[in-house]
């Protein structure tokens, strides 16, 4: 007879878990017959010992089976979604979902909130007056069918085991395990019912994966899981050493997203967005003609129209003024020359301290707080020139934010650094 202690001991000692044992574990955990402290012990054993491919496939399937699966067959368009592992200034979803919808696909984007130095898509959209992120499954399907895209919170019925496991990982220092990250992300994405998925795996100081090797391992693991569960899956590895775009925060990132949809987005932001869009449209079978050209959909206004329709369908007013911070302060260039670095992690922590992020899931965030990058690496600057504009609702937040930015900026007189594409590489099925 299977019991939790035997499974903990087996994984602790480096043995693999049988499929039936994993299925029993999740069923017993749902019935509260396996205690949280026992599951925590098993998660720590997995952190050190890992899960092989077969174990991970069964583990992920059990997480999916713990709840509901959305049926998107009534939508009437090919379905494709995107997931980012999180970064600083990463507002890509706000642009990408309506852009890909404007090209003929349906994008069921179930998103999350920010924690720590990485921003949350839902926090950004909720800075729009009236916008509702909490939709019922029927509302989600209705918006998807009428507009072609929806960005909302995952309902409590999708992979509920993941919610409980993530809470345990968060307080037991087991978040960084690649099998546990992969199963957490992919169980929710598979349960949402999409036919295809493109992953944006961030690499660098502002990402959860700071090394290329670990980021690629995570990408390959998630692509394999998606394919094994019948979801056509690809991944792009993209840089996150520098904030993406120029805005970091909530309302400020919405503003930049609208500018991008109007054809005025920063080059790095648009390169990542268009690369992901092309991957998504290829997986959805919509690439190759003008209707499936994302650059054309921005140029002719279709993408912006889809964004405005999505915001309205979710209760928001796309014409309403966005919240503005009461106080601003600038960080100036320490010398003249070329800006060679702007550390994404430091900027993300500073924005968090200004009020744009949260330390705990239950914390509130400021819609108006954030940072505008007035200069980016590769640009010439003059001593005393404003590099960053900090925005906050309370002036006492500037001191801690500026402290986080100490050492984040480097200026050199040796000429501009070489330009690096933000898109590093592509990962497909093995």
b/e code 98-137 from CB counts within 10 Å (16+ = b): bbbbbbbbbbbbbbbbbbebbbbbbbbbbbbbebbbebee
Give dist(CA 7, CA 25) in Å, integer: 9
SS3 3: coil
SS3 275: helix
- What does the block give as tokens for 41? 């012990």
* Closest by CA position to 276, among listed 373, 202, 222: 202
**Torsion sign (Cα): 40, 45, 47, 52:** negative
Query: In the 3-class helix/strand/coil scheme, how is 280-307 assigned residue by residue?
Result: HHHHCCCCCCHHHCHHHHHHCCHHHHHH
Q: What is the pLDDT of residue 287?
A: 81
CATH of 4-50, one of 1.10.1270.20, 3.30.360.10, 3.40.50.12280, 1.20.970.10: 1.20.970.10
342: β partners: 409
Q: What is the pLDDT of residue 427?
A: 94
- The pLDDT tens digits for 145-154 are 999 999 999 8
- Architecture in CATH for domain 80-320: 3-Layer(aba) Sandwich (3.40)
Q: What is the pLDDT of residue 1?
A: 61
Name the segment(s) of the chain with CATH classification 1.20.970.10. Answer: 4-50
Give dist(CA 115, CA 152) in Å, integer: 17
The torsion region of residue 140 among left (phi > 0), alpha (psi -120 to 50) and beta comes to alpha
pTM to 2 decimal places: 0.95
Q: What is the pLDDT of residue 119?
A: 74
Q: What is the pLDDT of residue 211?
A: 95
DSSP letter, residue 38: H
- The pLDDT tens digits for 76-101 are 899 999 999 989 999 999 999 999 99
What angle (nearest 5°) sits at the alpha carbon of residue 217, between those of residues 214 and 220? Answer: 150
Give dist(CA 217, CA 427) in Å, integer: 10
Residue written as token pair 């967005």: 273
- The pLDDT tens digits for 28-58 are 999 999 999 999 999 999 999 999 999 999 9
Count of CA atoms in the C-beta half-sphere (13 A) of 82: 37
Element holding 171 (H helix, E strand): helix 160-172
Q: Decide: 17 and 55 in contact? Cβ < 8 Å.
A: yes
Strand order in the sheet with 80-84: 80-84, 196-203, 232-239, 423-427
Query: Which stretches of the chain drop beneath a pLDDT of 70?
Result: 1, 115-116, 289-290, 361-362
Give dist(CA 373, CA 245) in Å, integer: 8
151: β partners: 109
**421 exposure class (CB count in 10 Å sphere: 0-12, 13-18, 19+):** exposed
Name the segment(s) of the chain with CATH classification 3.40.1030.10. Answer: 80-320
Name the segment(s) of the chain with CATH classification 3.90.1170.30. Answer: 327-412
The number of beta carbons lying within 10 Å of the beta carbon of residue 268 is 23
- What does the block give as tokens for 407? 């050492």
Q: 327-412 has which fold?
A: Aldehyde Oxidoreductase; domain 3 (3.90.1170)
Q: How far is CA 246 from the centre of its chain?
A: 17
Q: What is the pLDDT of residue 115?
A: 66
Q: Decide: 178 and 215 in contact? Cβ < 8 Å.
A: no
* Closest by CA position to 246, among listed 159, 426, 375: 375
Q: What is the pLDDT of residue 349?
A: 95
Catalytic (active-site) positions: 83, 162, 169, 184, 188
* Closest by CA position to 122, among listed 163, 150, 159: 150
């Amino acid at each position: 007879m299977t019991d939790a202690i035997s499974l903990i001991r087996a994984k602790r000692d480096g043995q693999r878990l049988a499929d039936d044992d994993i299925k029993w574990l999740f069923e017993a955990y749902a019935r509260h017959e396996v205690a949280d402290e026992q599951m925590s012990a098993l998660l720590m054993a997995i952190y050190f010992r890992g899960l092989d491919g077969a174990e991970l496939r069964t583990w992920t399937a059990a997480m999916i089976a713990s709840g509901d699966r959305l049926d998107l067959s009534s939508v009437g368009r090919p379905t494709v979604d995107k997931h980012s592992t999180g970064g600083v200034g990463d507002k890509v979803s706000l642009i990408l979902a309506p852009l890909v919808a404007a090209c003929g696909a349906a994008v069921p984007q179930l998103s999350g909130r920010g924690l720590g130095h990485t921003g949350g898509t839902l926090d950004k959209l909720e800075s729009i007056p009236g916008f509702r992120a909490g939709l019922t499954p029927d509302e989600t399907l209705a918006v998807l069918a009428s507009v072609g895209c929806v960005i909302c919170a995952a309902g409590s019925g999708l992979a509920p085991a993941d919610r409980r496991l993530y809470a345990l990982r968060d307080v037991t220092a087991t978040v960084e395990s690649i099998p546990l990250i992969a199963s957490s992300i992919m169980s929710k994405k598979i349960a949402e019912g999409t036919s295809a998925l493109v992953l944006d795996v961030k690499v660098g100081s502002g990402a959860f994966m700071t090394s290329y090797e670990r980021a690629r391992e995570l990408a390959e693991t998630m692509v394999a899981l998606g394919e094994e569960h019948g979801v056509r899956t690809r991944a792009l590895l993209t840089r996150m050493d520098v904030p993406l775009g120029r805005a970091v925060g909530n309302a400020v990132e919405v503003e930049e997203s609208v500018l991008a949809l109007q054809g005025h987005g920063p080059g790095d932001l648009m390169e990542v967005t268009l690369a992901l869009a092309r991957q998504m449209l290829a997986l959805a079978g919509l690439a190759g003609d003008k209707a499936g050209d994302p650059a054309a959909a921005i140029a002719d206004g279709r993408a912006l129209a889809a964004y405005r329709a999505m915001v309205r369908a979710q209760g928001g007013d796309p014409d309403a003024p966005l919240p503005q911070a009461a106080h601003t302060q600038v960080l100036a260039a320490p010398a003249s020359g070329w800006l060679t670095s702007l550390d994404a992690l430091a900027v993300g922590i500073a924005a968090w301290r200004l009020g744009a992020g949260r330390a705990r899931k239950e914390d509130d965030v400021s819609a108006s707080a954030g940072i505008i990058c007035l200069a980016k690496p590769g640009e010439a600057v003059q001593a005393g020139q404003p590099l960053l504009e900090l925005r906050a609702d309370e002036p006492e937040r500037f001191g801690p934010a500026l402290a986080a930015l100490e050492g984040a900026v480097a200026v050199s007189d040796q000429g501009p650094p070489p330009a690096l594409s933000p898109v590093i590489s592509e990962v497909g099925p093995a």
